[in-house]
């Protein structure tokens, strides 16, 4: 049975690798606790060979060293397992359980793996996309399909050269639509711009286009879950590899 969801907000913080998502989340937690009870579900990619995951996100959060704030924060790393997207289906149940047990905010931090990042839309109420300078191409998020999901765009590392260029690139990319998200600059290193983030997040409204994209991803994830939840899923994978079972036959047996 799906847990009964309580009052609260689920946000996803996503974006390409190297933009400082974990440092940004750490800075945000410093400003949320202890006034807010916050859970962080940090998603790690699973090795296709061993099935294991690094699960090392806890060591990145300096806020957990502060005893006055740590009791208000729960951090759990999640392996993606058989889910093809960056966010496994189990996170939806975890988020609902946390909201039903006193947590007012659940933050999902995704792995930053390009196209797979859009799966965070299947769960989150709001999507925050993080970008940063010195990545070569300032509109990789657009290519990955992330911009259509964004309810807020954050350009991190504003203390580095190139941050203004990324803001300009994103502004130009979004100028073709009337339903564009707000773009703000912050620096997780210096703290510039972070003090305003908690209020912005709780007041953040969902864009019409991002809601439609979110619903599309929920349908896709629901369909995927029907496949991966089948007890014969792993055995059929083996048969595809070892016996040459066709994809059409596999889908028929899994449906």
Instruction: Provide the whole-model pTM.
Output: 0.82
| DSSP secondary structure, 51-85, as one string | ------GGGG-GGGG-HHHHTTEEEEEEE-TT-SS
> Hey, where are the domains in the chain?
9-210
* Partners of 237 in beta bridges: none
102-155 pLDDT tens trace? 999 999 998 765 555 677 767 889 999 898 886 555 455 555 567 778 899 999
What is the CATH topology of the domain spanning 9-210? Rossmann fold (3.40.50)
29-55 pLDDT tens trace? 999 999 999 999 988 765 555 555 555
């Amino acid at each position: 049975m799906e847990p009964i969801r309580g009052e609260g907000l689920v946000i996803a913080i996503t974006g390409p690798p190297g933009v400082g998502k974990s440092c940004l989340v750490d800075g945000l937690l410093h400003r949320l606790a202890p006034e807010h009870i916050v859970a962080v579900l940090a998603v790690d990619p699973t090795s296709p060979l061993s099935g294991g995951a690094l699960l090392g996100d806890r060591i990145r959060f300096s806020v957990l060293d502060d005893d006055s704030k740590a009791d208000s924060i729960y951090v759990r790393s999640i392996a993606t397992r058989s889910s093809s997207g960056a966010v496994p289906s189990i996170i939806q149940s975890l988020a609902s359980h946390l909201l039903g047990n006193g947590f007012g905010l659940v933050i999902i931090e995704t792995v930053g793996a390009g196209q797979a990042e859009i799966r965070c839309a299947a769960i989150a109420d709001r999507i925050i996309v993080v970008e940063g300078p010195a990545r070569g191409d300032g509109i990789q998020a657009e290519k990955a399909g992330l911009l259509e999901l964004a309810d807020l765009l954050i350009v991190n590392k504003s203390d580095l050269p190139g941050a203004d260029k990324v803001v300009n690139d994103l502004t130009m990319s979004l100028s073709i639509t009337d339903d564009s998200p707000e773009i703000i600059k912050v620096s997780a290193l210096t703290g510039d711009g972070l003090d305003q983030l908690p209020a912005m997040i709780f007041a953040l409204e969902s864009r019409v286009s991002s809601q439609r994209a979110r619903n599309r991803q929920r349908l896709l994830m629901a369909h995927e879950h029907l496949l991966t939840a089948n007890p014969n899923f792993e055995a059929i994978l083996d048969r595809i590899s070892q016996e040459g079972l066709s994809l059409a036959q596999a889908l028929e047996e899994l449906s």
